[in-house]
Homo-oligomer: A and B are copies of this chain.
């Protein structure tokens, strides 16, 4: 059996993928892969997602350099979610923050809890995930 046959793809042929920094466990982002994207990720050793908005493979960081080198790939108990441990080059978020999960609920408001560490204008728009 192919190792990818263990994965339960959804009705659109996709699986959600959580990217976590291998160095300290910070959750960086969540995106999607189809079978082709996962095969490309495994072949390349860097995260390749499926952009739902562009309906195309998305090699994260291809133009901006903010690639994710894959250290480990884990699958959950029911096979429908992947967890990638990655070495993140630069920042994960198109806003220039390290993680996409920078808004934290504080009472009735979402507050920015993470600084912008890279000017987003230096990050190419084409790497903005869907």
Contact = CB atoms under 8 A, between A and B. Distances in A.
A16 B3 contact: no
Interface residues of A, number: 37
A77 B105 contact: no
Nearest to A83: B101
29 contacts: A3-B109, A6-B103, A6-B110, A18-B27, A25-B26, A25-B27, A27-B83, A29-B76, A30-B81, A42-B105, A72-B104, A73-B104, A73-B105, A74-B103, A74-B105, A75-B101, A75-B103, A75-B104, A75-B105, A75-B110, A76-B100, A76-B103, A77-B93, A77-B97, A77-B103, A78-B130, A81-B100, A81-B101, A83-B101
